[in-house]
Structure 1
Amino acid sequence: MPARTGREATPPGSAPAVVRAIAVLDALAADDAASMSLSDIARAIGVPKSSTASICAALELGGLLVRDNGEFALGRRLVELGGAYLSRSDRVREFYAACVAEPLLVGETVRLWALGGRDGICLGRYDGHPPVRLTVNIGDRLPASVTAAGKVMLAQFDDHEVRDLYAGTTLPRLTAASLSSIDALVADLHTAREDGYCVSVEEAFESVVELAVVVPSRGTRTATMAIGVTQHTVTYTPEHAAPLVSALRRVAAALGNPMQVAT
């Protein structure tokens, strides 16, 4: 998502300094680098360097930014705030409760995802025993095109909407198995729509298989969400798919409508 800039009109009744502070956080979140110089931040948000310095200093004082070797990075306080938000989210609480209550998933590694543009955003992580340890933590993003959860969420859109979403871009490849073309992605989405679930084999991480189902929507204003379970390729077999998908559907149904029961 592009960062808000100081050149854009400030919404009526809002504080310009707050709008610019949000733009700073957006710029750092959108940048591929772990940190940015003050000059780079100022250019990104379209605000004079002196004003940007004051904003960054205030954000640093509040723990929202940290400074290292003259550059700024997102601060730990953002994680704390995000965790506080997620802990109050009904969907996330329901996710953990449903995983614990589902016998087939108690010993698995399950994640709750939301679609954000071309990325899947991890909202919740239930670690079974033993968990499949991935470098995906709560709040992390992965390209939707390389994960089963991401693709099953994209499958909720028409082909032309998906092609528009990826117009002028190249699909990111995290492993040799990652999809390399929009046509291949669209073909996978057709399969996901027909099957009602999606599977990815080593597309995001080597030696990892993921199966995922979409969470039924609670209304037009709710985010597109999915639940995915991961297993090691050395222990996974195609026979595992049907029972795991059934378990995921029961959890997804509980999140989509607590009164609904899926089989």
Structure 2
Amino acid sequence: MTDDQDDRLGRDPAPAVTRSIRLLDLLAQANGPMTLTELATGLGLAKSSTANLCLALEASDMIERVALGFRLGRRTAVLGGAFAVQFQQVREFYAVCDASPVLRHELVQVAMLDGTDALYLARHEGGARVRLGTPLGSRLPAALSATGRALLMGFDDDAVTELLESQAPFPQLTDRSPTDLAALLERLARARERGWALDAEESYPGIVGVAVPLDPWAPGDPQLALGVGMPAAEADDAHVERVAGALADAVEALTNPFSAAGRKASR
């Protein structure tokens, strides 16, 4: 490769697009609206350049101007929903939960692995009294959440280590959170043995999570996980087992019968 070719490959082909995406990321990670000055500082750009980006994104409803600055606009929700429902299993998820005598009363969520995090795509609240869970589009470290561990269950220990060793020690979200790989690998071994992952107040105080992996419906679809969050006071062994069994039934209902996993389950 010539120096000229290498230089062209190293250039950003669309700087304005890249900067716009970075601006959206800043707003997504913020706890509230951001001012033009804060956005310019975060992007490392002049305020005039940042203002032009904001004008273009505001015109397309990707962001909106409020009294305290800028926040994400309604079109981001439309796009996020469109991303999730392109997957057959997410479209059918709500009906499967409603048909389950157990899950219809629970807070059930769908997540996929995004880097080292569990990214939440769909949420069925049913009659659940738990109202926290994780908002759509939010994420939790895969090492700490039940859905994240369900997504990691299909990896061997070497693959988990390669993926997560740079993240250790893990953040201490509660006093029960594992902070090292050895503790996580022990939890994953138990999860593989019983067929479901458990988060015993390790990502949220007072909340127990149970989750199972869901194989992709079609080639190119992501690996998913189904998880339930419940108050720790209600999470006795019998209820946890009942929820885990209902999640396994949901996975069977959401598995493509023509996939390898579907053919295996039908035997």
- Report the TM-score when normalising by structure 2: 0.81
Q: Verify: 1:162 aligned to 2:164, yes or no.
A: no
- The residue type equivalent to 2:11 in the other structure is A
CA contact (8 A) 1:149 1:226 kept: yes
* Matched position secondary structure for 1:217: coil
Distance 1:62 1:146 in 2: 37
Alpha-carbon spacing, 1:9–1:218, altered in 2? closer, same or farther (3 Å):
farther
CA RMSD of aligned residues (A): 2.9
* Matched position secondary structure for 1:209: strand
- The residue type equivalent to 1:54 in the other structure is N
* Matched position secondary structure for 1:145: coil
CA contact (8 A) 1:146 1:173 kept: no
Distance 2:17 2:175 in 1: 43
* Equivalent residues in 2 for 1:37-48, closer than 5 Å: 37-38=35-36, 41-42=39-40, 45=43
- Residue aligning to 1:121: 119
- Residue aligning to 2:244: 245
Deviation at 1:158, TM superposition (A): 2.4
* Equivalent residues in 2 for 1:79-158, closer than 5 Å: 79-158=77-156
CA contact (8 A) 2:211 2:225 kept: yes
- Residue aligning to 1:9: 11
Residue number among 37, 50, 53 corresponding to 1:52 in the alignment: 50
Deviation at 1:46, TM superposition (A): 6.0
Q: Verify: 1:197 aligned to 2:196, yes or no.
A: yes
CA contact (8 A) 1:119 1:150 kept: yes
* Matched position secondary structure for 1:110: strand
CA contact (8 A) 1:249 1:262 kept: no
Distance 1:9 1:45 in 2: 18
Distance 2:53 2:123 in 1: 34
- The residue type equivalent to 1:9 in the other structure is R
- Residue aligning to 2:25: 26
- The residue type equivalent to 1:156 in the other structure is G
Deviation at 1:68, TM superposition (A): 5.0
* Matched position secondary structure for 1:247: helix
* Equivalent residues in 2 for 1:67-82, closer than 5 Å: 67-68=65-66, 71-82=69-80
CA contact (8 A) 2:150 2:225 kept: yes
Alpha-carbon spacing, 1:138–1:212, altered in 2? closer, same or farther (3 Å):
same
Alpha-carbon spacing, 1:28–1:167, altered in 2? closer, same or farther (3 Å):
farther
Alpha-carbon spacing, 1:185–1:92, altered in 2? closer, same or farther (3 Å):
same
Q: Which moved more, 1:147-156 or 1:166-175?
A: 166-175
* Matched position secondary structure for 2:137: coil
Residue deviations 1:201-231 (CA, integer Å, cap 9, x gap):
1112222211110002335522121001122
Deviation at 1:38, TM superposition (A): 4.3
Deviation at 1:153, TM superposition (A): 0.7
Distance 1:70 1:129 in 2: 36
Give unmatched runs, 5+ long, in structure 1: 1-6
Distance 2:62 2:236 in 1: 45
Q: Which moved more, 1:123-132 or 1:82-91?
A: 82-91
Give unmatched runs, 5+ long, in structure 2: 1-8
Deviation at 1:64, TM superposition (A): 1.4
Residue deviations 1:9-38 (CA, integer Å, cap 9, x gap):
345xxx553343233323443x45545554
Distance 2:186 2:54 in 1: 45
Distance 1:164 1:69 in 2: 45
CA contact (8 A) 1:250 1:262 kept: no
- Report the TM-score when normalising by structure 1: 0.82
- The residue type equivalent to 2:118 in the other structure is G
Deviation at 1:90, TM superposition (A): 2.2
Aligned residues between the structures = 253
- Residue aligning to 1:3: none
CA contact (8 A) 1:218 1:257 kept: yes
Distance 2:98 2:266 in 1: 16
- Residue aligning to 2:5: none
Deviation at 1:119, TM superposition (A): 1.4
Alpha-carbon spacing, 1:8–1:55, altered in 2? closer, same or farther (3 Å):
farther
- Residue aligning to 1:213: 212
- The residue type equivalent to 2:245 in the other structure is S
More helix by share: 2
- Residue aligning to 1:4: none
CA contact (8 A) 2:98 2:126 kept: no
